[in-house]
Amino acid sequence: VKAGLIPEEVEVEPGGIFILKLVILEGGSLVKAGEFNLSYTTNSLELLSITSVNEWEVMKARNVYAFYTIKAQPEKTEVAELKFRYKLDTPANVTLLYLKAAGTGGKELEVILTSSTVQVKAARGSTGRETPSVIIKRERELPFSWIAVIVISAVAAVAAALALSQMKKTSAAYILVDGSGRVVFRTTSNDRVYGREDFTGVLTPDKLVYITRRAKGGQFRIIKGRDGWYIIDAYSTNPTMVNGIPIKGRGYVRLNDGDHISVQGVFDLYFRVSGSG
């Protein structure tokens, strides 16, 4: 299966709206369900909606987007339209972090992302130009009984595919250590938010107050993407830094083994992939 976002480059007026399409370019007839996740430049872009198209249904499931269909699809098929607003006159990116797909019986399919990053920039000579026109398709309203049936079927397919994947390989894991190499956090979770509550017993009370609570979004979040680990800071009061660079508002930032994660004057941690030296 080959999939990606189109177009690969967008020119739009500041304040204007544009639409990207999530497309299965090859192998669409094999796909019955799946999930995907995105990152984008949050200080320049605002995600307004994700709309299902072509007999697909897309729903938010925790921190990812699940999609499924109950009808046969062609080899090339559009799955969803992503509607964004361009807030600032600065270059921005939208990245498809990963896409998983399952076929009949929940069989996991290999997915190749052919166009995973879209570059967004201000339109040349935008002064006086009209905001690009956009046609938005409304999601079809289905009776609750039908929604229940197709959601259960789709979730079962995705769950089966993910279970199969976990049987084939050991769950990914990482640890966060301090400067002496002492393990401060150990997890096998592929998606974890770290907040003040997690640092209780790790930091003294006078430093804990600088860490944002989970109820307010947490200090930072570490998530497993298709090609590695990513960290994001979207809600902190005191910005998280990676290798000395503040990442708040920068979207998903790739983590490498040994990267330094900190809040200045509060804590210093080092990201280590489980099993590394």
Structural contact between residues 62 and 190, judged by C-beta atoms closer than 8 angstroms:
no
How is residue 218 written in tokens? 């947490």
Structural contact between residues 38 and 60, judged by C-beta atoms closer than 8 angstroms:
no
Q: What is the pLDDT of residues 45-95, one digit of tens each?
A: 999 999 999 889 898 866 688 888 888 899 999 999 999 999 887 889 999
Q: Please tell me the distance from the alpha carbon of residue 41 to that of residue 47, in angstroms, as a whole number.
A: 10
Q: What is the pTM of this model?
A: 0.49
Q: Please tell me the distance from the alpha carbon of residue 240 to that of residue 176, in angstroms, as a whole number.
A: 14
Q: What is the pLDDT of residues 212-228, one digit of tens each?
A: 999 999 999 999 988 89
Alpha helices in 94-249 (DSSP H): 144-168, 196-199, 205-208
